[in-house]
Structure 1
């Protein structure tokens, strides 16, 4: 059973909004695009596992995607946590193209692609640290201590995997296509029931309560100024900025696409990059609108929660996220 499904993280949405609003020649753009690509790859890798996880017995395995819990030094995050009455299983998902070399002599992961080598942090150390953090968290919360298994899952079938040292690390690495077989093996090994059904449900609810989503300020992260960002409504067809509001429609000056609702994704960008509320003046400035009345009509039509009245009306944009 998938207790905590995988949703597009707000961090990805914020980075996508910043990518749309940052000029193509901006010095920070390559760094931004690289981080966004890495996060999207991780998200898609996790998403691909659901195909295999759905084949597990519903009442026996409880699955949490992207679980972020408070630890001794900030937070620790688990790509996937599988909970049973007998054991925990932490899954660290790697969706990296090319050939991967697990080098335990120097505790690094090396990706070779198109003749270029690139180093990554050692996922074996990473998942062992996650195991320790989860164990400490359970102890501090006075929760039952279950055996904790760990696996690194290579989600792409095109990725080639090599190891450069002891073959013992192979037990930590698997492919998504054989993940269910690994879980069936753990099921056959861990036969001692540690949790009752009632305790299992209670722990499941507690995990959800303790989960704290990651929140970043993308402009601070990449040292980008508000004045660097492009304002206006972007075209949903060719992504050009800005569209123009003419006779009750948004018109693209590049591809001439017209839309009645193109302002909605742009207001979402404002929500992710600036703040969760907007007033008429701020909306006119961001969407390049000249008419106060037209702006009021557009905002009112969205049926957003409001506060204040008349010229002091503030619209709450969080409803657009759903």
Structure 2
């Protein structure tokens, strides 16, 4: 989960993919393929990744006694020059994958749905505070990862 937007009526998980080239989201075989300069790389399926994040966040909200509210997720391609291709999956899954530039429009659509508020201002502040207090940064050991011995 790269970012999260908390609104009174929903929560939006943003998973950002900063990749260049042609990105093929293969939802049938649950993988992301990147083609660039004649090479192909395979990455884990971001749709499965955000589905897990939605599930974990739903459980966490219950454990923390916050109101049940809709959780949405998007996979954002940060590089505007990357080509997005999608195969397989449901329409709902395919609509989650988009270029970063489209986020304001999607966010506006979600805000205009007119759903009743799930969080009061006080609950929203408490939720943000609780999330921040339990956030842990990912700090990989680069030397170990690349098998470099100082």
TM above 0.5: yes
Deviations 1:98-139 (A, max 9, x none): 001111121111111122221111111111111111111111
Residues 155 and 218 from structure 1, CA distance in 2 versus in 1: closer, same or farther, beyond 3 angstroms?
closer
Rg larger for? 1
Instruction: Give 1:221 deviation, angstroms.
Output: 3.7
Instruction: Give 1:217 deviation, angstroms.
Output: 3.6
- What secondary structure, in the 3-state scheme, does the structure 1 residue paired with 2:119 have? coil
Instruction: Give 1:188 deviation, angstroms.
Output: 1.5
Deviations 1:154-200 (A, max 9, x none): 11110001112246132111211111000011111252101111111
Match of 2:100 among 150, 157, 176: 176
Match of 2:63 among 140, 143, 159: 140
Provide the residue aligned with 2:29 in structure 1.
Answer: 106
Structure 1 residues not aligned, in runs of 5+: 1-77, 227-322
Partners of 1:219 and 1:166 in 2: how far apart?
38
Aligned counterparts, 1:115-194, within 5 A: 115-166=38-89, 168=91, 169-194=93-118
Choose between structure 1 and 2: higher helix proportion. 1
Instruction: Give 1:85 deviation, angstroms.
Output: 0.8
Provide the residue aligned with 2:129 in structure 1.
Answer: 205
Task: Give the number of equivalent residue pairs.
Answer: 149
- What secondary structure, in the 3-state scheme, does the structure 2 residue paired with 1:189 have? coil
Residues 210 and 190 from structure 1, CA distance in 2 versus in 1: closer, same or farther, beyond 3 angstroms?
farther
Query: Does the CA-based 8 Å contact 1:87-1:190 persist in structure 2?
Result: no
TM-score if structure 1 supplies the norm length? Answer: 0.44
Aligned counterparts, 1:272-287, within 5 A: none
Partners of 1:103 and 1:218 in 2: how far apart?
30
- What secondary structure, in the 3-state scheme, does the structure 1 residue paired with 2:2 have? strand
Residues 220 and 157 from structure 1, CA distance in 2 versus in 1: closer, same or farther, beyond 3 angstroms?
closer
Provide the residue aligned with 1:218 in structure 2.
Answer: 142
Instruction: Give 1:97 deviation, angstroms.
Output: 0.6
* Larger relative contact order (Cα-Cα within 8 Å, sequence gap ≥ 6): 2
Partners of 2:5 and 2:49 in 1: how far apart?
17
Partners of 1:190 and 1:155 in 2: how far apart?
29
Instruction: Give 1:95 deviation, angstroms.
Output: 1.1
Structure 2 residues not aligned, in runs of 5+: none
TM-score if structure 2 supplies the norm length? Answer: 0.90
The two structures, once aligned, show a CA RMSD in angstroms of: 1.6
